[in-house]
A and B are shown apart, each in its own frame.
Chain A
Amino acid sequence: MIESILIIGLVNGGTYAILAVGFSLIFGVARILNVAHTAFYMITAFLIYIATGILGFPIYPSVILAILITSLWGMVSYKLFFDRIKEHETAVMIIAIALAMLFQEIFLIAFGAPFNRIAPFIPGFLEIAGIRVLFQHIIAVGISLITLFCLWILLSKTKLGIKIRAIAQDREIANLMGINVGWVCMTTMGISVVLAGVSAAAVAPILGVNPYMWIHPLIIVLAAVVLGGLGSIKGSIAAAFILGFAETTVVFLIPGGAFLRGAVSLSIMVIVLLVRPEGLFGVFFEEERV
């Protein structure tokens, strides 16, 4: 039991961590509360499903293609929708919800509500300490850790990363220093959508593909981001793993716990916020982000 909780918790935590980091990144840089973030996760999952399940392409090229297409679409939608009304925060949020709803309905019309299966990258399982661990679980954990590491390299070692952090710290000064803010914001949107796509590729073979699959991760991501401090990447990662383990524990230990998994994460968030309003890592808006 404990081993299963550990494995599934790692898988969930890793997925949520990548999603939360992407969400946090675009909020920190472009100040967009992108509620459609997990909709991009859904889009990638569906594209993978269409490519492998329906058209019968091999898995790896279709995964890469799906992530690239979604990321392109993310950048296009940033340019078309978010960029034009950035000053109206609530309008941005509604447009994001509308976009998410649009795709949910399109996929609902095209594929219906049942869960569609994607074949795992490598079928089969491994026996570790007496329990069966699917290869896909190991791949998912691996992918999330590698992605987080790559992101860390990108943000702390490359020129683009420095630009992104500069804009997150102070948009106007960054602009004065000759950074093309509009372009970096769009690239950041692309990166954040790539992160959503990677997490979809990691877990879609485990969880299946469904038009409503974006709602639950969205709730967890919001909770994780608040818990870790909005815009703080370290905080989001830690909070995502905490929530991932908490959720898995509840689902495994309490009968009917599947209904309570959202409730538990959110209760943790509410309690933490009441005790420490600034979030776990005490990061307020304008401060350190990496």
Chain B
Amino acid sequence: MKEYLPWLYRWFRGEVLSVPGKVIAITFFTCLIVIPLISTDSYMLRVLTLAAIFSIYTVSWDLLAGFTGQINLGHALFFGVAAYVAALVNIHFGLPPWVTISVGAVTAVAIGLIVGTPALRLRGLYLSLVTLSFPIILTGLIFAFPNYTGGELGLFGLDPLSNSKIVDYYIVVLVLLGSTLVMWKFTDAGSKFVRTGVILRAIREDEIAARVSGVHTTKFKLLAFAVSGFFAGIAGGLCAHFLRVAGPSNLELMFSFQAIIWTIFGGISTIYGGITGVYILYLVIEFIRLSGEIAEEIRFVFLALILIFTLLFMPEGLTTWVRDRIEIICPRCKKINLMTRHSCRVCRAPLHLERNHTDEKKGA
């Protein structure tokens, strides 16, 4: 054991501390875990728990749209179906939350496969608009049969996740951590063992070329729908049990758009972009709400303005914009380096070739 420690330390210093993105991610999750030790204000915990749940939901959209290129405009379908199924199972059979959440997530996978079927025939905007329609159709059915679905009020009186809000918070944050790791590995193009990252990107960039290269694109598109549906379903089940209600607002058009807004604001096809988007936009909105009655009314105006101005000046999203300013990819070995370094930390190749070049030109 002892001889591994220096190695572990060196690995940590070399591979983690030298990459700013990883440092930020680790600091962020440490903060999330430490926060309840500092303050246990119930409103703050509630907001943070919901932010974690929405993060899972948002990242699952990013996996499907950002990485696979299947822009799903009705992502709330997975969330809502899982929430309703979890609620129905919990109310009628009295099963504990972890069972109902799994059942809900599995149902969401099935729904993902069903919704994915048009994706085999349709492409681009047509697919987006078809996916948009499913949650609206389902909302119509929910309103039309209020006896089974609770209609406008939804299903309420579910079992809570656990007995205390702090435990709830930790459960959700751990699920967020776990699912983010899984989704990050699933979409990591640099991974040697899981090839889905490369394949999904290939499908996004050029589906025909991917098929020519021997990728069974249908299978992988369905896989992306299923995985995305699974995590969105987990988020939906968690949300239903945390709020103890599953209502039609989980299926709203605006809720589908929320995932897109958060992801685009944070940076699409990055995984961490979605989480950043939720933790900035959702928390800002909630804290504006606290600061007064007028502020509560104008908070969506504020949100819309933030969005418009961010996208005008950083159309690729916040994290991508920041990342391009603190990280640089080595032109020779493709490792990520801190922007301020002059040479690559692995292969010693000079990093800022072009900038020196233009400087010389200016001097001449």
Which of chain B's residues have a CB closer than 8 A to the CB of A88? 311, 315-316
Residue on B nearest A256 in the bound complex, by CB: B144
Which of chain B's residues have a CB closer than 8 A to the CB of A269? 129-130, 133
Q: How far is the CB of A260 from chain B (nearest CB, A)?
A: 5
**Chain A binder among B165-173, B221-229, B295-303:** B295-303
Which of chain A's residues have a CB closer than 8 A to the CB of B315? 85, 87-88, 91
Q: Is B26 an interface residue (CB 8 A)?
A: no
Task: Tell me the complex Cα distance, A269–B268, Å.
Answer: 29
Q: Is A105 an interface residue (CB 8 A)?
A: yes
Q: Which listed residue, B125, B136, B139, B304, touches A33 by the CB 8 Å rule?
A: B125
CB–CB B133/A270 < 8 A = yes
- Residues of A49-99 whose CB lies within 8 A of B: 81, 84-85, 87-88, 90-91, 93-95, 97-99
Q: Is A183 an interface residue (CB 8 A)?
A: no
Known A-B contacts A102-B301, A259-B143; A90 and B308 likewise in contact (beta carbons under 8 Å): no
Known A-B contacts A84-B312, A88-B316, A90-B260; A215 and B253 likewise in contact (beta carbons under 8 Å): yes
Task: Tell me the complex Cα distance, A284–B130, Å.
Answer: 16
Q: Is A277 an interface residue (CB 8 A)?
A: yes
Q: How far is the CB of B263 from chain A (nearest CB, A)?
A: 9
Q: Is B92 an interface residue (CB 8 A)?
A: no
Known A-B contacts A219-B253, A266-B137; A230 and B125 likewise in contact (beta carbons under 8 Å): yes
Q: Is A263 an interface residue (CB 8 A)?
A: yes
| Interface size counted on chain A using CB atoms at 8 A | 42
CB–CB B136/A219 < 8 A = yes
Q: Is A273 an interface residue (CB 8 A)?
A: yes
Q: Is B331 an interface residue (CB 8 A)?
A: no
Which of chain A's residues have a CB closer than 8 A to the CB of B316? 88, 91
CB–CB B264/A91 < 8 A = yes
Known A-B contacts A95-B308, A267-B137; A273 and B130 likewise in contact (beta carbons under 8 Å): yes
**Interface magnitude class on chain B:** 35 or more
Per-position binary interface string of chain B over residues 250-273, scored 1 when its CB falls under 8 Å from any chain A CB and 0 otherwise: 000100010011001100100000
Which of chain B's residues have a CB closer than 8 A to the CB of A204? none
Q: Is B121 an interface residue (CB 8 A)?
A: yes
Q: Which listed residue, B118, B140, B253, B303, touches A270 by the CB 8 Å rule?
A: B118
Per-position binary interface string of chain A over residues 164-181, scored 1 when its CB falls under 8 Å from any chain B CB and 0 otherwise: 000000000000000000
Known A-B contacts A88-B316, A256-B144; A81 and B308 likewise in contact (beta carbons under 8 Å): yes
Which of chain A's residues have a CB closer than 8 A to the CB of B126? 226, 230, 273, 277, 279
- Residues of A232-290 whose CB lies within 8 A of B: 256, 259-264, 266-267, 269-270, 273-274, 277, 279
Q: How far is the CB of B214 from chain A (nearest CB, A)?
A: 25
- Residues of B269-316 whose CB lies within 8 A of A: 297-298, 300-301, 303-305, 307-308, 311-312, 315-316
Which of chain B's residues have a CB closer than 8 A to the CB of A223? 129, 133
Task: Tell me the complex Cα distance, A282–B35, Å.
Answer: 57
CB–CB A274/B121 < 8 A = yes
Q: How far is the CB of B111 from chain A (nearest CB, A)?
A: 14
- Residues of A210-235 whose CB lies within 8 A of B: 215, 219, 222-223, 225-226, 230
Among B139, B140, B298, B312, the one with the most A-chain Cβ atoms within 10 Å of its Cβ is: B140
Q: How far is the CB of A20 from chain B (nearest CB, A)?
A: 12
Task: Tell me the complex Cα distance, A215–B136, Å.
Answer: 11
Per-position binary interface string of chain B over residues 107-132, scored 1 when its CB falls under 8 Å from any chain A CB and 0 otherwise: 00000000000100110011001101
CB–CB B264/A105 < 8 A = no
Task: Tell me the complex Cα distance, A145–B123, Å.
Answer: 33
- Residues of B126-167 whose CB lies within 8 A of A: 126, 129-130, 132-134, 136-141, 143-144
Q: Is B71 an interface residue (CB 8 A)?
A: yes
Task: Tell me the complex Cα distance, A93–B303, Å.
Answer: 16
Q: Is A128 an interface residue (CB 8 A)?
A: no
CB–CB A277/B140 < 8 A = no
Known A-B contacts A262-B140, A270-B130; A90 and B118 likewise in contact (beta carbons under 8 Å): no
Residue on B nearest A104 in the bound complex, by CB: B300
Q: How far is the CB of A111 from chain B (nearest CB, A)?
A: 13
Q: Is A101 an interface residue (CB 8 A)?
A: yes
Residue on A nearest B301 in the bound complex, by CB: A105
Residue on B nearest A35 in the bound complex, by CB: B257
Which of chain A's residues have a CB closer than 8 A to the CB of B304? 98-99, 101-102, 105
CB–CB A98/B308 < 8 A = yes
Task: List 14 A-B pairs, Cβ < 8 Å.
Answer: A90-B65, A90-B71, A91-B264, A94-B265, A95-B312, A101-B300, A219-B133, A256-B144, A262-B136, A262-B140, A266-B134, A267-B133, A269-B129, A273-B121
Given contacts A81-B312, A260-B141, 15 further A-B pairs with CB under 8 A are: A85-B311, A85-B315, A88-B311, A97-B257, A97-B260, A98-B307, A99-B304, A104-B300, A219-B132, A263-B137, A263-B140, A264-B140, A270-B118, A270-B133, A274-B118
Binding site for A on B (CB under 8 A): 65, 71, 118, 121-122, 125-126, 129-130, 132-134, 136-141, 143-144, 253, 257, 260-261, 264-265, 268, 297-298, 300-301, 303-305, 307-308, 311-312, 315-316
